[in-house]
């Protein structure tokens, strides 16, 4: 009887190990085209939701608005491709030299994935985002993201090239500190894409659902306060996946979404769809900020 029970337990453990390895391998082998498909699938799904259950009734040309933000998506994809090419060797080096936190401890793969997600979300998202709001030259690049006066799913793609480079540097820092394997990083990037588009989407969720999900995760209502045109709300809700960091560091805001006014107070709303103007914002000395 004991032999049968031991054999059964071994079989379960072997099966769970196999499925976990297959799960990790799936993400490790994702092609660039498949990752791009995730981006457009998330954009498309939330675009449809915006038409069905909008939070705000915008009077704007949705396609013209999207063209501006998709231009910035193109620059982001180029930077991301270059960053990926530059970091391939770093992932290999960390594996060979057993560098970083995850190479110093041993936990089951699923626990290590959670640790990697938490570390990446904290450093590559919360810390990077907080810094973009606190360092003047970074804030002027980040103004482009906040200048959107009609926040919708495409706003999630709206990042000045300099802004996105800063984010990638923080991501690299998180990778090096954590000794994070490529597969774990790709899992994080896919989740980050899903959350970025979902939380920017102009969708109306039931308040009870938004508040329930918000206990652990960043939600659409929660992130909308971050896009209010003036402080203190502009300097709140910095998280991307987990709301833990905003709760822990006192940067969480929850209020009535009807009070929100999109845009940013140091820029004129009429230029929010002027690509050339937006690209020049970080270098325009006439734009004064408090940072």
**Average pLDDT taken over every residue of the chain:** 91
The predicted-structure confidence for 66-93, as pLDDT tens digits, reads as follows: 999 999 999 999 999 998 888 888 988 9
| pLDDT value at residue 84 | 86
- d(C-alpha 146, C-alpha 281), whole Å: 12
Domain assignments of the chain as residue spans, ordered by start:
32-283
For residues 175 and 188, give the distance between their C-alpha atoms in angstroms, rounded to a whole number: 11
Confidence of residue 12 (pLDDT cuts 50, 70, 90): low
Q: Encode pLDDT of 24-70 as tens digits.
A: 888 888 898 999 999 999 999 999 999 999 999 998 999 999 999 99
How do residues 120-155 score in pLDDT, each as one tens digit? 999 999 999 999 999 999 999 999 999 999 999 999
Write down the pLDDT at residue 28: 86
Measured distance CA(158)–CA(136) in Å, rounded: 19
Burial 207-224 (b: 16+ CB within 10 A, else e): eeebeebbeebbbbbbbb
Alpha helices (H) along 98-236:
109-120, 128-134, 136-146, 161-178, 182-200, 207-214, 220-226
The dihedral region occupied by 78, where left means phi > 0, alpha psi between -120 and 50, and beta the remainder, is alpha
């Amino acid at each position: 009887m004991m032999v049968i029970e031991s054999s059964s337990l071994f079989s379960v453990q072997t099966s769970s190990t196999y499925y976990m390895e297959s799960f990790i391998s799936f993400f490790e082998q994702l092609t660039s085209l498949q990752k791009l498909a995730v981006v457009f699938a998330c954009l498309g799904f939330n675009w449809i939701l915006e038409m069905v259950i909008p939070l705000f009734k915008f009077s704007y040309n949705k396609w013209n608005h999207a063209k501006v933000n998709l231009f910035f998506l193109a620059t982001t994809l180029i930077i991301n491709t270059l960053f990926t090419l530059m970091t391939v060797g770093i992932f290999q080096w960390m594996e060979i030299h057993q560098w970083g936190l995850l190479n110093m401890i041993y936990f089951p793969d699923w626990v290590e994935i959670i640790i990697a997600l938490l570390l990446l979300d904290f450093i590559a998202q919360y810390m990077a985002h907080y810094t973009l709001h606190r360092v003047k030259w970074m804030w002027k690049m980040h103004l482009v993201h906040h200048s959107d006066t009609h926040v919708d799913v495409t706003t999630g793609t709206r990042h000045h090239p300099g802004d996105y480079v800063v984010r990638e540097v923080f991501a690299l820092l998180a990778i090096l500190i954590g000794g994070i394997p490529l597969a774990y990083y790709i899992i994080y990037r896919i989740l980050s894409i899903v959350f970025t588009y979902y939380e920017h989407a102009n969708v109306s969720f039931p308040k009870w659902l938004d508040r329930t999900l918000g206990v652990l995760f960043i939600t659409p209502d929660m992130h909308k306060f971050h896009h209010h045109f003036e402080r203190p709300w502009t300097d709140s809700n910095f998280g991307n996946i987990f709301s833990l960091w905003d709760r822990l560091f006192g940067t969480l805001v929850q209020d009535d979404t009807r009070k929100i006014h999109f845009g940013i107070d140091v820029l004129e709303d009429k230029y929010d769809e002027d690509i050339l103007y937006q690209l020049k914002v970080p270098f325009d000395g006439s734009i004064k900020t408090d940072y």
